[in-house]
Amino acid sequence: MSAPVEGRAFEPRVLGLLCTHCAYACADNAGGTRASVPAGLRTIRLMCTGRVEPSLVLEAFGAGADGVLIMGCHPGGCHYKEQNYRAVQRQRILLRLLDQCGVEPERCRFDHVSAAESTRYLELVDDFVAALRRLGPLRLERRTRVHRPH
Amino acid sequence: MQATTSRPRIALYWASGCGGCEIAFVNLHERLLELDARFEIFFCPCLVDTKRQDVEALPDGALALTLLDGAQRSDENVEMAQLLRRKSQLLVAYGSCAHEGCLPGLANLRPTASLLDTVYAGMSEPSRPRARAAVPQGELHLPTLLPRVLPLADVVDVDYVIPGCPPEPDTLWRALGQMFTEPPPPRGAVLGAGESAVCRECALRREDKTIVRLRRVHELIPEPTRCLLEQGILCMGPATRDGCGALCTRVGMPCIGCYGAPEGVPDQGAAMAGAVGSILDIEPLRDRSDKEIAAAVDATLDAVPDWAGSCYKFSLAASLLGGRRT
Ligand code: SF4
Ligand code: SF4
């Protein structure tokens, strides 16, 4: 992700990790209706929020995201039965780690939508971006790691 | 240092550590004789008499190997790491502190100034550590703390890593063998240990149960043959590199993660969040609203008072966040 431009209003950089069965379908529909989305939003389509390794969220922050929005199906509506519950459990543990490391837990949000809720999807994204605007940019010290074999 | 010898010279040096890695070295027992037959221990402040000046006087690359343990906590640690890097053909991050910051790295959960305020609480300025202080005998120079604890590889190039707190003597011995075989292992490799997780070599029985309630070690006497994690104890086995022989679980104690993350796993704490999140019981979450689900999960997690301290006990300084945002 590119560096923020000095002197302009802060436009949060957001990574959306979207389940293909719900949130990604919403995003697709919203695009079809030419709805506008926040400029800093980048989305990645996943088969299920159950695929979100907590380290992915940390890596997104390390790569410059100000917030990570994970969106999956409503409770009980997961196409892989219960993986969205597991995803929430992983995210809630990750929030504890973030909090203790001085990264506001509000920067990693989990929301539930269905494929038919495009309008709500847009509202949730806007709401998250507004929350990030209030928090301001996430400035992390960069770590370099020379000992990891590549 | 008068004795001259044709054996290659090696060093064992401690930065901000506890001395446990030196004990692990001595615990090679009779294998030390074999080591001594092959190498001369040229520099090791707790074993031989040579000083920093003797190392400085060596030509660059004169040491075949330096095992450097302890975390990088002060500017003096960095100076010594840079000196030993210059003088050594192989520089090895020996033990968890050098590998990932270990327990000293947990200081990264607080700003350095607040650490000093806690330790020197109520003391006035002259009693607090100063980089330079005039005393009747002259001027004293003291090392100053870095803003945060760093793994050795964040300070100098590291050739190999030997994990563990401290490394098991067998791990150390295997690693020494590996680094002097032809062809040598790829640079940066973690030696002497496995690549998988401690669960792989743990003898406790897994039943694919779920965790209904998290509990701390003092809250129950675990069933001796069952997986501790499945009994609700936060065992770091699934997020920790194997190679120790699962020593802790063998005696009924959970793995606390001292060998660091398994090969290819970028962040031990995140890996543990993934592992625990995968087996917490989801039954109470069914048919609840979003908010109720989050609250129910949180209530379960509250049983562990210090998640970062538990999941990053050894690897906070080397984690993706590195500790607290400053
Ligand atoms: S979680 Fe711990 S007790 Fe269970 S199998 Fe893994 S190492 Fe053994
Ligand atoms: S079981 Fe875990 S804490 Fe114990 S020695 Fe092995 S890696 Fe270290």
Q: Which pLDDT score, from 0 to 100, does residue B324 have? A: 86
For ligand 1, atom 6, name the residue with the nearest CA: B199
Residue B48 sits at φ, ψ, to 5 deg, of -130, 170
Residue B112: what pLDDT? 87
The dihedral region occupied by B175, where left means phi > 0, alpha psi between -120 and 50, and beta the remainder, is: alpha
What was the pLDDT predicted at A96? 98
Domain boundary among B190, B214, B240: B190
What parts of chain A have a pLDDT lower than 50?
1, 145-150
Structural domain contains residue B119: no
Q: Looking at the structure, do residues B180 and B96 belong to the same domain, yes or no?
A: yes
Q: B255 in ligand 1 pocket by Cβ < 6 Å?
A: yes
Same domain, B182 and B305: no
Residue B109, domain member (yes or no): no
Q: Which residue of B has its CA nearest to A101?
A: B324
Ligand 1 nearest atom to the CA of residue B228, by list position: 3
Of B190, B219, B254, the residue that ends a domain is B190
What number is the average pLDDT over the span B212-216?
95
Are B178 and B314 within one domain?
no
For the cut 90, the answer to whether the pLDDT of residue B196 exceeds it is yes
Is the Cβ pair B308, A100 closer than 8 Å?
yes
Asked whether residue B20 carries a pLDDT value surpassing 90, the answer given is yes
pLDDT in tens, B86-105: 999 999 999 999 999 999 99
Q: Tell me, yes or no, whether B56 and B183 share the same domain.
A: yes
Quick check: is B286 in a domain? yes
The answer to whether residue B129 sits within a structural domain is: no
String of DSSP letters for B109-164:
GS-HHHHHHHHTTT--GGGS--SEEEETTEEEE---EEEEEE-GGGTS--SEEE-S
| B98 and B238 assigned to the same domain | no
Helices and strands, counts by H and E, chain A? 4, 4
Q: Which fold has domain A14-135?
A: Rossmann fold (3.40.50)
Pocket of ligand 2 from Cβ distances under 6 Å: B 198, 240, 244, 246-249, 255-259
Structural domain count, chain B: 2
B125 touches chain A (CB under 8 A): no
Residues of A in contact with B271 (CB under 8 A): 54-55
Instruction: Report the complex ipTM.
Output: 0.94
Domain boundary pick from B163, B190, B217? B190
Which of B33-37, B115-119, B231-235 comes out lowest in average pLDDT? B115-119
* Confidence category of residue B3, pLDDT binned at 50, 70, 90: low
Pairing of strands B40-43, B63-69: unpaired
The whole-number pLDDT of residue B59 equals 98
* Higher-scoring residue by pLDDT: B112, B270: B270
Question: Do B17 and B86 belong to one domain?
Answer: yes
Where exactly are the structural domains of chain A? 14-135
How far, in whole angstroms, is CA A18 from its chain's centroid?
A: 8
CATH number at residue B48: 3.40.50.700
pLDDT reported for residue A147: 35
Say whether both B208 and B95 belong to one domain. no
- Atom 8 of ligand 2, residue of closest alpha carbon: B258
pLDDT tens-place string over residues B57-68? 999 999 999 999
Query: Is B246 domain-assigned?
Result: yes
My answer on whether B170 and B243 are in the same domain is no
Say if residue B155 is in the same domain as residue B285.
Answer: no
Question: Average pLDDT of B190-197?
Answer: 98
Residues B155 and B263 in one domain: no
Each residue's pLDDT tens digit, B131-144: 898 889 999 899 99
- Structural domain for B175, as ranges: 9-104+148-190
Q: Considering the domain boundaries, does residue B252 fall inside one?
A: yes
- Whether residues B183 and B288 share a domain: the answer is no
Which ligand does the CA of B193 lie closest to? 2
| Predicted local distance difference test score (pLDDT) of residue B122 | 82
In angstroms, the CA B280 to CA B257 distance is 20
pLDDT at position B247: 96
pLDDT at B9 (0 to 100): 98
Instruction: Locate B310 and state its tokens.
Output: 């538990």
Q: What is the pLDDT of residues B219-231, one digit of tens each?
A: 999 999 999 999 9
Report whether the peptide linkage leading into residue B167 is cis, meaning its omega lies within 30 degrees of zero. no
Task: Calculate mean pLDDT across residues B28-48.
Answer: 96
pLDDT at A6: 58
Same domain flag for B80 and B212: no
Note whether residue B295 is domain-resident.
yes
